[in-house]
Amino acid sequence: MQRFTTAREAIEFLIGKITEQAQRAGIALSVIERKMLYFSETDWTLPDISEVETAFESDYDRALYEKKIVKIVRHLRGRERRETTDCDLWNVAIEKLRESDYYLMGMIEEAGAVRRPREDLLKLIASALGICAVLLAVAYFLANR
């Protein structure tokens, strides 16, 4: 399976998938909207991202844009779940970008298209068992009073 050696490779893969899905779904993405998918304040991004951000802030409704991208990602992930290879690559790219600050990552998370780390599930199970144990102890205490 392909591994992404840089954040740039991973973000370009994700953006490629998103723009392909937008085209398939007939959802228009302007040049500015496509370029905003690359926005990051600290990671690799397009050389003209400052100008893109300025144009975006003056000409676009951020909430509507985010809603549009979330919709595209949800449709894409539904389709890719049936295509295991693309789904696996998506998860590998997300894992590579987990520590990044790409604007796109927030929209991907909003779409529910980020696989949670295994440790999160284990923490959730341990917390649930702990709560159950406390409730049983309280019930036992109250019953024997």
pLDDT digits (tens, 9 = 90+) for 27-56: 999 999 999 999 999 999 999 999 999 999
- Please count the other Cβ atoms lying within 10 Å of the Cβ belonging to residue 127: 10
pLDDT at 133 (0 to 100): 82
Give the position of tokens 């702990």.
130
pLDDT at 37 (0 to 100): 98
CA distance 50 to 41: 10
Instruction: Quick: pLDDT tens for 86-145.
Output: 668 898 999 999 889 999 999 999 998 776 555 555 667 778 888 888 888 888 888 887
pLDDT at 13 (0 to 100): 95
pLDDT at 111 (0 to 100): 92
Say yes or no to pLDDT of 84 above 70.
no
CA distance 129 to 124: 9
Structure-derived torsion over alpha carbons of residues 41, 43, 48, 51, reported in degrees to the nearest 10: -10
pLDDT at 127 (0 to 100): 80
Model confidence band, residue 4 (pLDDT cutoffs 50, 70, 90) = very high
pLDDT at 82 (0 to 100): 57
pLDDT at 41 (0 to 100): 94
Say yes or no to pLDDT of 74 above 60.
yes
pLDDT at 83 (0 to 100): 58
**What's the pTM value of the predicted model, to 2 decimals?**
0.75
pLDDT at 103 (0 to 100): 96
CA distance 13 to 7: 10
What are the distances in angstroms from CA 51 to CA 60, 69, 73, 121?
14, 21, 25, 41
